[in-house]
């Protein structure tokens, strides 16, 4: 009886319990470091060459000289900073350091209150150059002036000046420039370009680069040694804006900027340069005398006129050179090249010859006071002075009376 009661009590207790299902313990937590986000690309700062507190001048307007021979590549000109001022480094054709590389030009960019120049480089692709429109294939983004075809560089005739009789590896591809055409020479800051980096330019910046060649460095050094290339001298219009080869600043084929002063010897004029005839050349010493090649320094002469020593302005009086008494005659100086005024003998200034009246010239070997009469003044040569008319005399009454007495 007692055992039955115990069994019933146990059953009652067990009926009120709920058994939870079996759950295995969770595995130990393992920390996994998340993959880092792609790094934000910063503009490289190691390529900054120099800084300035003032903006560079606008790019000058100039023509591209013809490519000298196959294998040369165009590098545009730019304003560089040295000796406390801006000076122009002319654009030029150079040989690349190796096959397959292209030139990314340097550029100025404003940041942190200063203008920094980022140097150019050679690389397999064109990188960022500030959106500056250098022209001739460099429209601000990329390069349309040519491309490598195997081991040879092909030139785009649409944007490059190439002579197809000399260079045969060319093509003609029209370039549509979506960049505003202006002369701004820097990025950022007041009035600068607003171009940002493209993905292609970011990738090109990470590629292996080759620095400027030795000839390019010599080209820059030659520019900084030339005072005429300083912006304060040329007013932003350098007389040497481009050269056919690097460091060839006195060679034939030099191109001057539009509005530039007289280029050096061998320079070719670009359209719009004042003081030069179309296709002409100007040389030192010929300022204001276009076309007088071979007569440098003959200031004060009319075009084509020749001046002989001892005969200033006395055209048409040969043989008077060296006549004593005429040397250093005051009053004739300052009348060089006055063709059409022959017979200036007797002009003021020949006074002062002792013992000679005005209008006489002493000849060699004659004593003082003995002279021959000089040529008549201009406009009176060949003219004979008419004789002076004699005034009729009134009859004398005494003479008439005497005559009457004789007649008687």
Q: Tell me, what's the pLDDT at 289?
A: 38
**pLDDT tens readout for residues 261-317:** 765 555 544 443 333 333 333 333 333 333 333 344 333 333 333 333 333 434 444
Give the position of tokens 């054709």.
Answer: 93
Summarize the confidence of residues 205-216 as an average pLDDT. Answer: 96
pTM of the model: 0.57
Q: Which residues pair with 86 in a beta bridge?
A: 81
Q: Tell me, what's the pLDDT at 218?
A: 97
Summarize the confidence of residues 119-144 as an average pLDDT. Answer: 96
Asked whether the beta carbons of 101 and 123 are under 8 A apart, the reply is yes
Q: Which two tokens stand for residue 32?
A: 């996994």
Dihedral Cα 231, 236, 242, 243, nearest 10 deg: -30
Least confident range from 222-226, 247-251, 328-332: namely 328-332
CA dist 280 and 50 (Å) reads: 39
**pLDDT tens readout for residues 344-394:** 444 444 444 444 444 444 444 444 444 444 444 444 444 444 445 455 555
Stronger pLDDT, 235 or 294, i.e. the higher one: 235
**pLDDT tens readout for residues 25-74:** 666 555 454 444 433 334 444 589 999 999 999 999 999 999 999 999 99
For residue 146, give the H/E element and its range. Answer: strand 146-149
Is the pLDDT score of 104 beyond 70? yes
Q: Tell me, what's the pLDDT at 204?
A: 96
What pLDDT band is residue 19 in, cutting at 50, 70 and 90?
low
Is the pLDDT score of 331 beyond 50? no
**pLDDT tens readout for residues 142-197:** 999 999 999 999 999 999 999 999 999 999 999 876 656 689 999 999 999 999 99
Output b/e per residue, 51-90; b: 16+ Cβ within 10 A.
ebeebbbebbbbbbbbbbeeebbbbbbbbbbbeeebbbbb
């Amino acid at each position: 009886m007692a055992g039955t009661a115990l069994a019933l009590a146990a059953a009652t207790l067990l009926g009120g319990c709920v058994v939870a299902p079996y759950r295995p313990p969770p595995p130990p937590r393992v920390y996994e470091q998340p993959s880092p986000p792609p790094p934000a690309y910063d503009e490289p700062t190691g390529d900054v060459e120099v800084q300035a507190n003032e903006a560079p001048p606008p790019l000058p307007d100039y023509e591209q000289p013809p490519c000298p021979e196959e294998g040369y590549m165009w590098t545009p000109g730019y304003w560089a900073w040295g000796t406390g001022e801006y000076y122009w480094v002319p654009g030029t054709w150079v040989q690349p350091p190796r096959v397959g590389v292209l030139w990314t030009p340097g550029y100025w960019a404003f940041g942190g209150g200063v203008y920094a120049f980022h140097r150019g480089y050679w690389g397999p692709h064109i990188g960022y150059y500030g959106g500056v429109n250098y022209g001739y294939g460099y429209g601000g983004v990329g390069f349309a002036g040519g491309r490598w075809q195997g081991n040879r560089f092909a030139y785009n005739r649409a944007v490059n000046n190439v002579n197809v009789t000399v260079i045969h590896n060319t093509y003609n591809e029209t370039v549509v420039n979506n960049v505003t055409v202006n002369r701004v020479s820097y990025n950022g800051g007041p009035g600068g370009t607003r171009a940002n980096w493209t993905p292609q330019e970011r990738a090109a910046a990470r590629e292996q680069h080759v620095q400027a060649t030795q000839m390019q460095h010599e080209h820059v050094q030659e520019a900084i040694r030339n005072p005429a290339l300083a912006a304060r001298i040329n007013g932003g219009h350098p007389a040497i804006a481009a050269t056919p080869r690097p460091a060839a600043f006195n060679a034939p084929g030099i191109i001057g900027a539009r509005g530039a002063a007289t280029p050096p010897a061998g320079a070719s004029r670009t359209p719009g340069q004042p003081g030069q005839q179309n296709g002409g050349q100007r040389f030192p010493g010929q300022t204001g005398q276009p076309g007088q090649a071979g007569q440098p320094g003959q200031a004060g002469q009319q075009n084509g006129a020749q001046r002989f020593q001892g005969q200033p302005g006395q055209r048409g009086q040969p043989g008077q050179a060296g006549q004593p008494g005429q040397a250093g005659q005051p009053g004739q100086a300052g009348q060089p090249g006055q063709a059409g005024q022959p017979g200036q003998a007797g002009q003021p200034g020949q006074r002062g010859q002792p013992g000679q009246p005005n209008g006489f010239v002493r000849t060699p070997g004659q004593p003082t006071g003995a002279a021959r009469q000089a040529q008549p003044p201009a406009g009176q040569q060949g003219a004979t002075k008419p004789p002076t008319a004699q005034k009729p005399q009134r009859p004398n009454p005494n003479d008439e009376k005497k005559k009457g007495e004789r007649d008687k």
